[in-house]
Structure formats: C-alpha cells, structure tokens
Structure 1
C-alpha cells in the first residue's frame, strides 16, 4: 500500500438533480430454507457459486445422480437463481459424447470451482482417471472455459495439475481445486485431500496451467475441499475434514487457518499450524443436532450488502442415501450466513446449519435501480445511456460518459457495487455534499485504486496499484462499503474473496451521511452492469452462547483402590488400575467399534436433565509416526452397536480429537466422526448433554481443551429419545508402541 497526497484531487460534480423524497413501499424480505437445491434435485454436492455478468447466480455441483431414482450420474450440474430462493436447473457441464479427451471414459468429474478469469468463465474440476497414467484413481485437476456461466464449455486440452504418483500404482489425492486471484498479482490454485494433504500452486497468466513447484499447506491426513479468501490483510484457508460420505454417521465439518501469505503457513486462532501433526484448525461449521449432519465442502459468497454466506452440502440424517444407485450419499446444497467474529469466520455466529427459514442473501438494489439494466429507468440521472454487452454475457448495460446521480439518497452506511469496464477513470462518490464526501476512483490509465475523504479543508486518502493482470476492458467487480466510520473499496475478478486491489480508510467523524450516490467517468467512457446501492450489512459480532459448567454433581478423583460408587465395568481388564489419585489404563489391541466389541468400558448412569461430563487425560501419542488407532477418552453408550466416543486419537501421521458415532443401520454397522483438536499430551475432554425439547432426543456436543480453560466446542451427535445411555471412559486401539492412558479425574456438572 502506498500513501499519496490528495489535496485538490476530488472531482466536483455539479448541476445534477436533487434527490427525491418519494420512497416505494418496501417489499417483504425474501427468505431461504435449507436445502436450497430441493426445488430441482434430491442431491447437489460440492457446490460452487458465482454471479454472472448477466446478474444471475449460478450454482454448480459434482457428478452425482440428480434425483433419487431412476437417475444416472451427470457430468457436473448447473442451475441458476436471481435471489437464492427460486432455482432453474440448466443441465450438465459435459455430455458423455464430449468428455475431455485426456480423461478416460470411466472418469468421474468432481468438486467444481467456478471463477471469472480474463473475460471468460473457468470451471476447475477434479478428474479421477487420465489417459496418460496407468491404472485407476490417478487424480488430476482439469479446467474448462466458457463465454457465459451456462456454457458452452470447452476443455483446456490437458490437466491444470497433473496426477502425482506416490509409487506402487498409488497417487496423491490431486482433487478439489479452488482458485484465488490474490492482491499480490498472482493466481493460486489450492488442491488436494486426505492422502497427501492440501497444496497450493501458482498458475500461469491464462489460469489454465500450474507453474513452478507446489507448496504443501496442510498435514497429509486431515483436510480436503479447500476455499481461500483474502480479508483484512489475511489469507484464510478454509477446508473440510472427516469422512464426507458415511451416510447417517457423517461428521464432515469446516475449519479455518490464516496466514499473511497465500503460501502459508496457515495457523488457527491458538497459533497451531494446519501442517502440524497435532493439527490445528478453527471450527467454522459443524452439525448442531438438528436434521443436518456432514456439513462441508463449501463456497464462500458475498451478497451485495457485503454479508458473507457459506454454501455447502449436508446430509439429512433420516434420509442419508439415494434410493438408487445404492451406496450414494444424498447431499443437497445448503446456505447460511457466515459471520466474522474476532477475526475468524463462523457460520451463524456458531449456531451451525439452519433448518428454519433464514434471511436470503441480498441480491437486488434499492433506490429503484434495476441492477441488471442500470440505465433502463430514471433511478440514476445524468450522462447515462443504455447499451449492450456484445462480447460477453452482460446483456443490458449502462454507458457512462460523464456523471450520473441517484434520484434518492443512499443510507449513511451504504454499499455500492457494480461490474465495470473502464477506459479512463471511473469514480463512485458517496455522502457528497459540496466539497465534502467520499470518492473512490479506479484509474485504468494510472493503474490505481484510490479512496479520498474530504471534509472542508481536510483531505485524506490512500491508493494502491492495480496488478499487471488488471485489464480495464474486462469486467471487474468494484464494491464500495461505508460502515461504522470506515470505507473499504475492492476490485475483484470473481467477487469470491479474491482481490485485484483493496483500499480501506478510516473516515473523519461526520463525513458519512445519507446522500445520493454519484457515478462518473472521465478520460473515456465506462460501462456499468449489475449496479446495486443498498444499506451495508450489519455484522454479527458476538458468538452464540456455548455450554457452561455449573455445580459439580459427580467428582471422581480416583483416590482409592477402585472407582467409587456408581461405576460398573463392561469387559473389565486386570491391566487397568486405580491408585495414587489416577486411573491407569494401558492401551491394548481392543476396540468397541465394529463387530468385535472387545474393549473394556468404565460406565455410570448420568443424572437426568442437562449435564456436562469432563475428564483430564494424559496420553502421549507422540507426533508424526503411524500408530493407528491408539486412543482414549469419554464414551456414551446405549449398547455396543449404538454409541458415541470422544477421544485423543492417532490417525495415520496425525493426532486428532475424534468425536464419533456408531449405529446399526438395518443390520449394517456404520461409523463416522467429527474431527476436532488440536491435541497435547495432556487433554481436557467434555461432552455436554441436552434433550430436544420437542422430541426428547438426546443431544451430545463435544469439546476439548489443552489447558482446561479455553475450550473448543465441536459437533453434536444424537441418540434416540427412548434410550438411557450411560457415560464413562474407554481406551484401546492398539498395543504398539506400549502406551498408558492416565485419567486424573472424571466429573459431571450441571449445565447452565
């Protein structure tokens, strides 16, 4: 960022009509209800979203069948909406007869990522099998281009990122692409998955081929489905973890880390790296006990009011599978508000996925502006005429040769956004009264983005250069947001967390006022499309309440030679001992997940009502080495095939907090888990119990801590209302290397 003097630099626009006092009766605010894809499909997984230059919002999905049955696999799907409420299905990206020639006839195409690059749309996607590599599952990243978001799509002719062989016929998971056009002038593609980790590579100028050597940004056995946004000087890597597709026990969730470099390292809110064996990641979205589980593989999209939303897939725990073909998880698309609290993204302030009507993203303009055809009525008056985008998909556009001003005043806290093509300079003025006001200027000749605030003789400003990739002849989204005494201006290709340039400026007190908005072009015409002027969103700044411990009901200190009253053993082991104020539990090659049911359990009946169970656990599982699946922690058990388990677990090279569920689904044992963390040699674990007030269903939410003070609350699992689960301790998963889990105490608290 460079500072420049801007005295006298404000262009004054005179002779424009005064604002009208007339206002229209406001329409009812639209609402969404999850899943938003239900209007046209039963399942719509790995969603990606972009607003086209035609003003529609396009939604893409992976190559699953679209409906319950009969339905065939489609080669990636497309739909569109004006408002995220009503949707129209458009068809598939590819047909069987036009598969990319470098992929096999049996390849699947997964996890699309849609962007606007150099005047065309680019769809990145996963290819499961390529012609050039032997065998199956030689994953690669492909790309197709189109003049409109609906196609027609032309494959780029080869992989953006080629398969990465491991040896012995195996390949790293080169899957789940996500592009970031960063303010440093480079384009980066993030990709990867559980086998090999997440990576980032720089792309060439076309955005269609990787260049240089990729950089690993997460540990190999934790994350997939990355999406990166640039915000307030930070790059936020968000990604999903756990099994995406375990039917009614899917614990898929979303996490975040941040870095001041797009190459990382990405650290969570406690400073733990996503590359660490004892892996970090701040929780963004996790299931909350309602119908939705397995919430993840997401896109982050910003509405025209500046509010972010997370678009993701989920599984209805009572309808987890497509009827046919068998074994395919039913994963429709959901959307929820994404808040930024204390510098971190979190869905609905921590409330998790919604199953009730929610305010829809703001997609239309106020002040009478027809955003998709800005010059079609008299909402703006001045040097302003109607035009047509004859090259791209913009449709009706406005051609600005001088200045145009809204007929009505905008709110004090306002957000102005438009797709613009600039041949000279384009300015947006808000809160303008005489010399006073705020001016944002995009100068395609000087190649700068500038913000200026004028209040009498006081003029302050800031400017930043535009990157080499910026081309004023191509559509670029400009947003100007004034809120809480601060203005932020951003240029972005795709408006998906990317930034060609951004300038933020604290405003002197009294500058922001409800005034008309003025648009102006100088040094050549400017073309404007998708113009919106709306009240800036009001951020949510406080998290929802999390469970808190009240009075102690049970305090087992293990200070005798055996557990105290109220405990019972299931499959007791003579190797487990109590003494000197601890319970010592050597790990053995036993387990309670699966059909074997060989692991010992120490259980007790919890009190009625809401409670929190807690234990302090010492278990040194080292780091980095493979010692599957040694673990210990808390367990909730109805019987050996209907249980929940929260533990410190070694999973391949990682050490993670795992909160899993096992159930018997029509004779088939299912296991799935939510993954938390990070872990340490000494951990505090909690499970909070409540009941659904309508159904009586048991709800259990997990938490972990490395100091017993700061807790990370995670996912919620449920157990049937007509059961009486017990709570207790477990350990096992493997005897090599020799390890001992030591429990300092077990407590039950009243929840408050």
Structure 2
C-alpha cells in the first residue's frame, strides 16, 4: 500500500496510525518473519557469544561508524584448551550472528611497562576526538617492586585496530596510604559529560572505585582522583547519564567462584559525574553500611554470577546490558577451580521510577528472546543511506570509518512517512561545516533539532499550533564523526549529540511541550555538504513501568517469638551453651568458628521447613558491628542447611570496613568445596530484617531467594540459590565468624508465611 504524500485531515491520520505502526514494524522485521510472532521472528538466546567462544568476560561495547557493534573481552582463553590471549575482539550487526576478529594485542605490541606474566583485563572502548580510545587493566607492571595494577590506554583509527599503546599508563599503580603495597587499580570505564568533559573511572574492592577528569583526547588524567564508593563492595564500574542523572553501576561479590558465583550489579545516582552517588533508599555508596539499588541478579535459571557490564542503546532508544554470566551446570572452562567459563549475555534495561532494572527486575533471560533493534524502518538502508528510502541524498565519499556514506546537499526526506506521535531518528554525521537539522512532523506541530558548528550549539525548536519555542545547549563541535539523536514521544522531546553514543551525550536538550501533536510525515534532513551514515528511523521503545512481582508474605504458618527457654521444635548442630532465650529474644554471642570450609566448629540452630510448597521465612536481627573496630566476617542471620558442606547463609556481615548483607552459598564441588556469595541490599545499623522465600521448581530443585530491609518496611529482593533435588534442607539461625571483639546477636522472632513465587519471565512484546 502506498502512503499518500498529500496531508490528510487529522482524523484520517489517527485512523491510519495502527496501519502505519504495522508498516513500521514490517520494515524493521527480517524478510520471511512475521512481526510479533516469537515462533518466526529472529531471536537471540543467551549466551550470545557461544557461537565462537566458550568464555568472553568483562565485555565492552561500541557501535562503530561502519554500523557494526564491536564487543571486546578480557584475556581468558577464548575456548577450552586455548591460550590466554591479550584481550579479544568480535563484532555483530544484529546481536545474533557474530564474527571473531582475534586478539587486541599480541606479544609484539603489548604495553612495554607490563610485567612478563601480566594479563590484560577488562577493556573499555570510547570514540574520542576522531579515534577509538581503549582503556584496559594491566595486572602487574615493571614500574615497582612487587605486584601492582595499572590502567593502560591505546588508540586506533578503527574499532578493530590495530591499537597503539601509550608508553605509560593513564593511571599508574597507586600506593596504599597506610602500609606497603598498592591498592586495586583495575576495571576502567570512560565517560563524556554534557559539557564535553571526559572522565575515567577505575578501582576495585581493595581501595574503592574512583573517578577523574581526563583530557580532551582521552589520553591523560587532568583532575584529582575522587572516591565514588567505599572499599570492599564494588568493582566493574560503569557510568551512564539518563534523564539528567548520572548513574554509577558496579558489580559486587564473587566474579569467579564456579558454581557458587554470586556476582550482582547495583547502582547509585548523582547530579554530578563525580558523585556522591546514593541508592533508592537515600544511602550513599560511600557509607560503610553500603548502599546500592539492584540492577541485575541471578534468578534461579541456569545463569549465575551476572555482572561486569557495559550498556548499549539500540535504534529504538532501548538500553541493553551487555554482561557476562556463568552457566551453573558448566561453570569451568577446563578443570574445576581453574578458569571460570564466563560468556557474554545481553538483556534489555527498563528504567522504572528513575532506576535501571534488567528485564524489569526479572534478571538474566534464558531461551529465545527478541534482540535489539538494529535496522531502520521506512525502507532505509541504515549503513548506506543513499541506497534507498530517502529522497535527496546522494552517494557520499567512501569513508575509512563509515564505509558507504551519503552526502546531504540542501534538503532530503524519507520516501515514507514516519508514524504520528512517536518517532526516533539516529544518524552519524561528519564534515559538519554548516548547520545540520532533522525535522519531525509538519506545519503546526513539528520538532526541529539543529546542530550548528559555528555557534557551537544543539538547538531544539518545538512548534505547537502557532507558537514555537527554542531550547539550546552549548558544546564544542568535534571535526570527526558525531551521533545525532532526535526522539519525540508524545509531549516529550529529546535531542542528543555524542561521539561514542554510550549514554554519554556531549550535548543534550530535553523539552516537555504540552499540546504537541506530531502528525505522520516524512523525516526531513537539511544541511550543506555534511556526510552522514547509519541513518535509522524507528518508534521509540516501550519499557515496563513497574518491576516484576516479588514474593510477598501471605497467611502465617508458624511463629517463634522466643518466649520459651526450651526452644521446642528446634535442634542444635554443635550447641552453643551461651545462646539462650531471654527478654523475648534469642541472644547468641557471635562464635569464633565458621561454617565455610572443611572444618565447621560453629553452631547451627535448626528446625524443619514447613512444607515443600512455596513459603517464606523472616527474622529481625539486632547485631552491633561497630565500624570503628575490626570485626571482619563476624555475622549472624538465617541459614538454609542440608549439611555442613551444603548450605546457603543470609547474614549481616562485617567485610573489611563495610557492613553488608551477604547471601552466601557453599556446596561440594569435585571432591572439594566451593563457596561464594551475593550481596542483597544494605543492613540497618541497629536492626536488620531478613527474608528467604522457597520454591520447588519443575525439576525438583529447591530454590531460595533472599531479601533484606533496613527498616522493616521497604524490602530489597536479591539473588536465588539452588539446591539439588532431594530432601528439603532445614531452616535455621547462625551467629559466627569471630569472637573478638565480643558482640551478641539477638533474634526477635522467626516467622513462616505462605507466599507465591512469581515468574521470573517478562512477557514478550
């Protein structure tokens, strides 16, 4: 069907809106696939890198000016039986089919300051000042005696390299303020602010995460180091800008503990790229009672240890987390307790109430999923815009970065009309000597975004009726490729200009224009002599507005208020004579011993679970872990206990100078024991509430999900640990981890409730 070019009455345009939406979807759907039909649409399935690798960890991502998505990974062996590489490169156009490109470096061009046995980890990629800038970790250098870590930097004119290493680290090894040795200087991530200022973030559990201003070319630190997080909590940090907020997202707990890996990603936000960052409860990431709002955690399917991520944005404006995870059924690359098999996974992010949630809080996906949208609607050939779909564009020069390009002389317009009300346009543009504009809508309802290199501005003009309003943002127009985005979603208008297009715009204008009623119309481009590429038109993504359900307490099954000294219904494993009921609570001095490891001197107080059905257990804990004293690993809380070597423990715990809630798991593994943990929310200073929900899945496995609260009202739900089929573990309490300084845990009650275990799947659109 041909869409008329003559303007239609608004009532007719509204009647055509559903048809236009279908046409737009058809244009973005691969040939032979039925739009919206999950049986025939092209899908991806995690892990996305399985086609060419066994492990592909710590992924970094950027869309090259040639239209490919490039993904870089850390220096583990690519496949079982392979050698450690000097980091890896691969690329994809659609996140379904992949091409492996080789290692980033080899022995001839690796950093000269790297020690002989040093590995290169955790790459981050940016497009800065007309070239690609790669940051990476060097695990040991020749700059000091003894082990140290540093951040290296390299550049290339192309995303696939070759990369030329700078002769010195951009961040050198950092000595400890007290004592010998060096703090962790790993896991770099770049960022560009809306004023054009570049930043670099780096750090580790050992010393915390930090940020600093970086030069215009991205190759040297120009500002003081600013601490963003307390130590002992975050690594793998990444910063994005969204709705005028800056979000720090970092990974916590174990990256690499095989079948007990509990990596998770949490976030905090700030009005400044250097913080302070606070979570959704208002808790600072610098507070010893560490804050952090859940972004992703394992949900009970095959994937555990999900974290160390980057963020990519598809042509609909949907953000995607690109991260690694571990298949709990195949955790090792080769031998147990060797290299972990950590392939790359991807899943969409929903921004809900101002916070990033992967799949609306459902966690990693398993099974066929709808991939990121990477192609344009309206018949546009995105990586060769002059080839079709747009009138007025002519073939541009073959570009070393962009490949086939189009030149914009005067004006151009799409041959088909964009749908009314909701449109997103993205294009890469260079040779910006004169203003370039993108226009959506027509006549009395339109939006025009204009990049003016002479004035150094990004301007957005919105017209509704007869009134036009103009909002501008100033920035330094770079001579190289830039990405321009214009999105209209009802009354909300967003325009951005960036170099990397990694949620780090160098200029941004947001407008809310009441009464704006964008009609269906061709997308119009105007400019003199500019070269453009990767032109896409799409409907903006529709995201979830609420998180997926979490377990809620139902009818009470059993309550223990600790009003009887005989502890009827309870039994001890290694009874502690000093634990007693008094004052309406169970008082239990923290014991010297531990459950973790082959020796288990610590006591455990147990009772039977109420049933094999869905249920929830809760306790309120008082435990004063004074941060002024060294109380490392002192803890108390709930335990899911099959035996001394097969348990999950949810406890408030001292970890270095922090106080956290850890959901730890120990289980037998290859004639040994494997232990790891996942972090859940934050503890209260005086009282902490703990919950564990139980579910028996279709395979007979026992699933346990943890939650915590610092006030007894707002709850944070976290990771799921799985126990093999068989007799249900018992439920109990522990108080352990070190007898000095003396501290006593007080449990106010233990309550079992009925509950419903919600599905971890988000309905596919």
Q: For residue 146 of structure 1, what is the aligned residue in structure 2? A: 156
Provide the C-alpha distance between the structure 2 equivalents of 1:550 and 1:104, rounded to a whole number of angstroms.
Answer: 58
Counterpart check, 1:398 vs 2:409? no
Q: For residue 8 of structure 1, what is the aligned residue in structure 2? A: none
Counterpart check, 1:683 vs 2:688? yes
Q: Is the 2:405–2:532 contact (alpha carbons within 8 Å) kept by the matching residues of 1?
A: yes
The TM-score with structure 1 as length reference comes to 0.94
User: 1:40-79 residue pairs with structure 2 within 5 A?
Assistant: 40-69=52-81, 71-79=82-90
SS of the counterpart of 2:309?
Answer: strand
Equivalent in 264, 270, 278 of residue 267 of structure 1: 278
SS of the counterpart of 1:352?
Answer: coil
SS of the counterpart of 1:273?
Answer: coil
Q: Is the 1:283–1:346 contact (alpha carbons within 8 Å) kept by the matching residues of 2?
A: yes
In the TM superposition, residue 579 of structure 1 has moved relative to its aligned partner by: 2.1
Q: Give the stretch that moved more between structures: 199-208 or 165-174.
A: 165-174
In the TM superposition, residue 723 of structure 1 has moved relative to its aligned partner by: 2.8
Equivalent in 216, 239, 248 of residue 237 of structure 1: 248
Q: For residue 647 of structure 1, what is the aligned residue in structure 2? A: 651
Q: Is the 1:18–1:407 contact (alpha carbons within 8 Å) kept by the matching residues of 2?
A: no
User: 1:152-171 residue pairs with structure 2 within 5 A?
Assistant: 152-166=162-176, 169-171=180-182
**CA separation of 1:372 and 1:265: change in aligned 2, threshold 3 A:** same
Residue by residue over 1:107-153, the C-alpha shift from the partner in whole angstroms, topping out at 9 and shown as x without a partner, is: 110000011000100110001122222222x1110111111110111
Equivalent in 502, 506, 512 of residue 500 of structure 1: 506
Provide the C-alpha distance between the structure 2 equivalents of 1:62 and 1:182, rounded to a whole number of angstroms.
Answer: 26
SS of the counterpart of 2:520?
Answer: coil
Residue by residue over 1:56-115, the C-alpha shift from the partner in whole angstroms, topping out at 9 and shown as x without a partner, is: 00010000000012x001100000011000000000000112222122222110000011
Counterpart check, 1:462 vs 2:471? yes
Q: Is the 1:562–1:579 contact (alpha carbons within 8 Å) kept by the matching residues of 2?
A: no
In the TM superposition, residue 457 of structure 1 has moved relative to its aligned partner by: 1.7
Q: For residue 552 of structure 1, what is the aligned residue in structure 2? A: 556
Counterpart check, 1:426 vs 2:436? yes
Equivalent in 216, 227, 234 of residue 216 of structure 1: 227
In the TM superposition, residue 261 of structure 1 has moved relative to its aligned partner by: 0.7
Provide the C-alpha distance between the structure 2 equivalents of 1:46 and 1:124, rounded to a whole number of angstroms.
Answer: 13
Equivalent in 373, 380, 384 of residue 369 of structure 1: 380
Q: Is the 1:587–1:738 contact (alpha carbons within 8 Å) kept by the matching residues of 2?
A: yes
Residue by residue over 1:446-488, the C-alpha shift from the partner in whole angstroms, topping out at 9 and shown as x without a partner, is: 111111111332112211111x3x31x2111111111132110
User: 1:406-555 residue pairs with structure 2 within 5 A?
Assistant: 406-412=414-420, 413-421=422-430, 422-432=432-442, 434-466=443-475, 468=476, 470-471=477-478, 473-521=479-527, 524-555=528-559
Residue by residue over 1:666-717, the C-alpha shift from the partner in whole angstroms, topping out at 9 and shown as x without a partner, is: 211111000123112201100000111x201000000000121110000000
In the TM superposition, residue 17 of structure 1 has moved relative to its aligned partner by: 9.1
Q: Is the 1:45–1:333 contact (alpha carbons within 8 Å) kept by the matching residues of 2?
A: yes
Provide the C-alpha distance between the structure 1 equivalents of 2:591 and 2:217, rounded to a whole number of angstroms.
Answer: 55
More strand by share: 1
Counterpart check, 1:594 vs 2:597? yes
Q: Is the 1:626–1:651 contact (alpha carbons within 8 Å) kept by the matching residues of 2?
A: no
Structure 2 unpaired stretches of 5+ = 9-15, 34-40, 757-765
Provide the C-alpha distance between the structure 1 equivalents of 2:516 and 2:287, rounded to a whole number of angstroms.
Answer: 48
User: 1:369-388 residue pairs with structure 2 within 5 A?
Assistant: 369-377=380-388, 379-382=389-392, 384-388=393-397
Q: For residue 246 of structure 1, what is the aligned residue in structure 2? A: 257
Equivalent in 146, 150, 156 of residue 135 of structure 1: 146
SS of the counterpart of 2:168?
Answer: coil
Q: Is the 2:294–2:681 contact (alpha carbons within 8 Å) kept by the matching residues of 1?
A: no
**CA separation of 1:636 and 1:332: change in aligned 2, threshold 3 A:** same
Equivalent in 84, 90, 98 of residue 109 of structure 2: 98
Q: For residue 338 of structure 2, what is the aligned residue in structure 1? A: 327
Provide the C-alpha distance between the structure 2 equivalents of 1:439 and 1:679, rounded to a whole number of angstroms.
Answer: 49
Q: Is the 1:661–1:673 contact (alpha carbons within 8 Å) kept by the matching residues of 2?
A: yes
Q: For residue 662 of structure 2, what is the aligned residue in structure 1? A: 658
The TM-score with structure 2 as length reference comes to 0.93
In the TM superposition, residue 435 of structure 1 has moved relative to its aligned partner by: 4.7
**CA separation of 1:212 and 1:398: change in aligned 2, threshold 3 A:** same
In the TM superposition, residue 628 of structure 1 has moved relative to its aligned partner by: 1.1
Q: For residue 36 of structure 2, what is the aligned residue in structure 1? A: none
In the TM superposition, residue 387 of structure 1 has moved relative to its aligned partner by: 1.1
Counterpart check, 1:297 vs 2:301? no
Q: Give the stretch that moved more between structures: 157-166 or 710-719.
A: 157-166
Q: Is the 1:371–1:529 contact (alpha carbons within 8 Å) kept by the matching residues of 2?
A: yes
Provide the C-alpha distance between the structure 2 equivalents of 1:562 and 1:505, rounded to a whole number of angstroms.
Answer: 67
SS of the counterpart of 1:375?
Answer: helix
Q: How many residues align?
A: 724
**CA separation of 1:314 and 1:424: change in aligned 2, threshold 3 A:** same
Provide the C-alpha distance between the structure 1 equivalents of 2:111 and 2:281, rounded to a whole number of angstroms.
Answer: 44
Q: Give the stretch that moved more between structures: 295-304 or 165-174.
A: 165-174
SS of the counterpart of 1:248?
Answer: helix
Q: For residue 572 of structure 2, what is the aligned residue in structure 1? A: 569
Q: Is the 2:692–2:706 contact (alpha carbons within 8 Å) kept by the matching residues of 1?
A: yes
Residue by residue over 1:172-209, the C-alpha shift from the partner in whole angstroms, topping out at 9 and shown as x without a partner, is: 11000000111133111000000000000111222111
Q: For residue 748 of structure 1, what is the aligned residue in structure 2? A: 752
User: 1:707-718 residue pairs with structure 2 within 5 A?
Assistant: 707-718=711-722
Provide the C-alpha distance between the structure 1 equivalents of 2:513 and 2:370, rounded to a whole number of angstroms.
Answer: 30
Q: For residue 763 of structure 2, what is the aligned residue in structure 1? A: none
Q: Is the 2:681–2:718 contact (alpha carbons within 8 Å) kept by the matching residues of 1?
A: no
Provide the C-alpha distance between the structure 1 equivalents of 2:516 and 2:83, rounded to a whole number of angstroms.
Answer: 61
In the TM superposition, residue 18 of structure 1 has moved relative to its aligned partner by: 8.4
Provide the C-alpha distance between the structure 2 equivalents of 1:678 and 1:580, rounded to a whole number of angstroms.
Answer: 27
Alignment RMSD, CA only?
1.7
Q: For residue 674 of structure 1, what is the aligned residue in structure 2? A: 678
SS of the counterpart of 1:401?
Answer: strand
Counterpart check, 1:80 vs 2:80? no
Q: For residue 701 of structure 1, what is the aligned residue in structure 2? A: 705
Q: Is the 1:569–1:600 contact (alpha carbons within 8 Å) kept by the matching residues of 2?
A: yes
SS of the counterpart of 2:639?
Answer: strand
In the TM superposition, residue 507 of structure 1 has moved relative to its aligned partner by: 2.5
Q: For residue 742 of structure 2, what is the aligned residue in structure 1? A: 738
Residue by residue over 1:522-548, the C-alpha shift from the partner in whole angstroms, topping out at 9 and shown as x without a partner, is: xx3211110000111112111100000
Q: For residue 319 of structure 2, what is the aligned residue in structure 1? A: 308
SS of the counterpart of 2:396?
Answer: strand
Q: Is the 1:54–1:393 contact (alpha carbons within 8 Å) kept by the matching residues of 2?
A: yes
